[in-house]
């Protein structure tokens, strides 16, 4: 795999002082809804427009592990998605109740968090009515 360009920098400082993962999740959910819901960004690698909605906010904040480093991505999420490189397609899971779901587009971006280079993986739901951000993940 070729080295990816660093697309943005962030810090986890604002999340380090929160008492527990529940507070971190609440802060991420709040920031996602305030900054992104109802907006969109065009991914430069694929040309698709990625929309932000409440489902993405919920999955990002409440799905999977949550820790300060991962939470800090919320501050640069639009840049992460804009500059993400497409790495594969995943078919709709049988457990997906949304019948308009066609599958998932999977991407990777490279960022700097707390002065360390980190790969960020994210998924975008491909639906009959458009594409929507769904989830982020990074190595802990």
Among all chains, which residue has been given the structure tokens 């994210």? 122
What is d(CA 5, CA 16) in angstroms, rounded to the nearest whole number? 27
pLDDT of amino acid 138:
82
Q: What is the pLDDT of residue 140?
A: 66
- What is the model's pLDDT at position 22? 93
Pairing of strands 101-113, 6-10: parallel
Residues of the chain with pLDDT under 70: 1-4, 140
| The pair of three-digit structure tokens given for residue 32, joined into one six-digit string | 């996602």
Position 69 scores a pLDDT of 94
Helices 54-62, 21-35: axis angle to 10 degrees equals 160
pLDDT of residue 101: 84
């Amino acid at each position: 795999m070729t080295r990816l360009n660093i697309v943005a920098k962030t810090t986890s400082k604002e999340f380090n002082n929160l008492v527990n993962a529940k507070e971190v999740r609440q802060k991420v959910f709040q920031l996602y809804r305030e900054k992104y819901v109802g907006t969109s960004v065009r991914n430069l690698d694929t040309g698709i427009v990625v929309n932000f909605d409440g489902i993405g906010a919920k999955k990002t904040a409440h799905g999977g592990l949550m820790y300060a480093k991962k939470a800090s991505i919320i501050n640069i999420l639009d840049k992460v998605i804009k500059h993400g490189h497409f790495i594969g397609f995943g078919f709709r899971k049988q457990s997906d109740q949304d019948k308009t779901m066609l599958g998932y587009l999977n991407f990777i971006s490279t960022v700097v968090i707390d002065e360390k280079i980190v790969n960020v993986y994210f998924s975008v739901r491909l639906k009959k009515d458009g594409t929507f951000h769904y989830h982020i993940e990074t190595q802990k």
